[in-house]
């Protein structure tokens, strides 16, 4: 399992594309606790939320970053917070799609997160029940076609973030 800096290096070493399928209603990210509390208190997001520098660090190099977030309305507080960041991610060049299972049921997708890099490496993400990151499991090459299909299904059914409105 990759975690910490080893997992972070994946975002520095991919060459062309990084795709994520995102499925949890809550991610418990320690670095976000204070900012999430501020969001719940009605305070604005930090200035960097308008053009996410983490996304920009990849897209400025000509790399494509995208995700499809499978979620369900009504949104959890955490999802409202996460989606508040998405306009800045899009401004920085990330392609984001939404599948809202309150509107549509999509078969053929896993119920867990993964990252697919350059269509050549896939990592299944593992989290605790509370949404804390445990690690990224490197999957064998013989599973690449399976995860490419998952990506293609998700992209085919996702609504572009700019068009998404929660139920």
pLDDT tens figures, 115-148: 999 999 999 999 999 999 999 999 999 999 999 9
* 4-163: CATH architecture: 2-Layer Sandwich (3.30)
Checking 47-55 for CB contacts under 8 A at 24+ apart, the result is 48/88, 49/84, 49/85, 49/88, 50/87, 50/88, 50/91, 51/88, 51/91, 51/92, 52/85, 52/88, 52/89, 52/91, 52/92, 52/94, 53/92, 55/88, 55/89, 55/92, 55/93, 55/94
What is the model's pTM? 0.95
Q: Give dist(CA 146, CA 108) in Å, integer.
A: 10
Output the pLDDT for position 167: 80
The 10s digit of each residue's pLDDT in 92-119 is 999 999 999 999 989 999 999 999 999 9
Give the number of other CB atoms < 10 A from CB of residue 17: 15
Q: Give dist(CA 156, CA 164) in Å, integer.
A: 15
Show the CA angle centred on residue 35, arms to residues 73 and 99, nearest 5°.
25
* The two structure tokens encoding residue 6: 């080893």
- Tokens 């085919």 belong to residue: 156
Q: Give dist(CA 72, CA 79) in Å, integer.
A: 9
Q: Are the C-beta atoms of residues 110 and 137 closer than 8 Å to each other?
A: no
Output the pLDDT for position 91: 97
The 10s digit of each residue's pLDDT in 8-38 is 999 999 999 999 999 999 999 999 999 999 9
């Amino acid at each position: 399992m990759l975690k910490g800096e080893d997992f972070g290096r994946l975002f520095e070493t991919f060459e062309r594309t990084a795709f994520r399928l995102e499925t949890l209603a809550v991610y418990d990210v320690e670095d976000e606790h204070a900012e999430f509390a501020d969001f719940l208190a009605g305070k604005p997001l930090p200035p960097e939320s308008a053009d996410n520098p983490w996304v920009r660090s990849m897209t400025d190099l000509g790399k494509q970053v995208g995700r499809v977030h499978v979620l369900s309305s009504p949104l959890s507080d955490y999802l409202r917070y996460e989606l508040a960041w998405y306009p800045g991610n899009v401004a920085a060049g990330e392609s984001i799609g939404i599948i809202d299972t309150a509107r549509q049921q999509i078969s053929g997708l896993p119920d867990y997160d993964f990252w697919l890099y350059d269509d050549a490496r896939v990592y299944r993400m593992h989290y605790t029940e509370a949404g804390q990151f445990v690690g990224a499991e490197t999957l064998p090459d013989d599973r690449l076609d399976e995860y490419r299909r998952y990506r293609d299904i998700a992209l085919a059914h996702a609504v572009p973030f700019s068009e998404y409105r929660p139920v």
